[in-house]
Structure 1
């Protein structure tokens, strides 16, 4: 009795499927690279099932999704096949600790205004109490006395005590979204890998490459151009992005590849 190959054994590899779909669509590697912003050497490597240039499984999945959309393939079966051939997708992090971390993190950065106001009130009450105590209970009522000859002297009026100084309110720290000092006729981009590492690519309005490589956690890059800056962000969910001094709140999800473009008038919604 002979045993035939299963349908899964006959299916092409992920890279071969992407390459064949690109050829069937009449696209060159250069055209796919221009459309997806995935570098030409990486496109060639993925079509040969070489993912060593991607920088890890997270980036490899992101590139596969991007290339699949560009050549008209369903990305889900390709991602599932990639995970099957490379040890499976890592177990997701439990949601509760992530949400708790997100809830706690911003609270540590807020000034404790309640404590500052309580301290100011205590200082004022202490100052007033000290002033009253040091006056020895003497009032400012005029007191008639007698001079050396026995005659009545002019009443002596006690000078009123100085009024307690008003507490000085603590000045709030400048917010992260402050844009003072930035040039109005340029676009300024600041990227920080806040919660993990990210692959980034940045080009100016003339297509000149400003940055292309891995941004490790905690590292930042700043770019400036007079007209436009085009970005490609891998693992976009870990990135903190400022455009012209204003934070872009929703850059993307962890593991996703986002292509963004900004001008001096941005950020714009979406």
Structure 2
């Protein structure tokens, strides 16, 4: 089993879609698809490819050292021989005989430069002799449009309360990055500070990525679930 097949199998076993994994990593879904096909050419080089693998490993329950070892064995440019790299990059070329440059070439080039400089000086001299017309500033009256009056819509006291199937409250006890997806839309992606709380509602489901599951308390539909993981644990959960 190659590296791409290992990634694909682990993602499917974790019941994580390509789009969810791409959102958690903040990378394109197309890049993940290429990596699962064992194609790492679009990662931007060995350093970026290894970085992606280190970020993917905890989300799929894999050993990052094992992934890096597979990558180095199958894809790393550092593992190929110098001769192979020279052939791949067409570095080895047939030497050509050095040609002597005739003295006429620099002489002709110098003459052309002198002619160009002379023409420029003549044009500048003729331009400076012509009087420059002075622009006359004309004051233009400014019409200030009246500010429209915005009428706030009346609040209907009979409007029923929210009937969302999933209501969630997140309360951070420490700084933590989260990514909240509701019905396929990223409604919030950023950092919550210690003591900060946020509420989210959905008619179907709410999917949340936590960079540190031990730094945030979760309440769903009035039920306090507490902290869903340990300190520093990367976690994604979907609530329906």
With structure 1 as the length reference, what TM-score do the two structures score?
Answer: 0.38
Higher RCO (Cα < 8 Å, 6 or more apart): 1
Give the number of the structure whose alpha-carbon radius of gyration is greater: 1
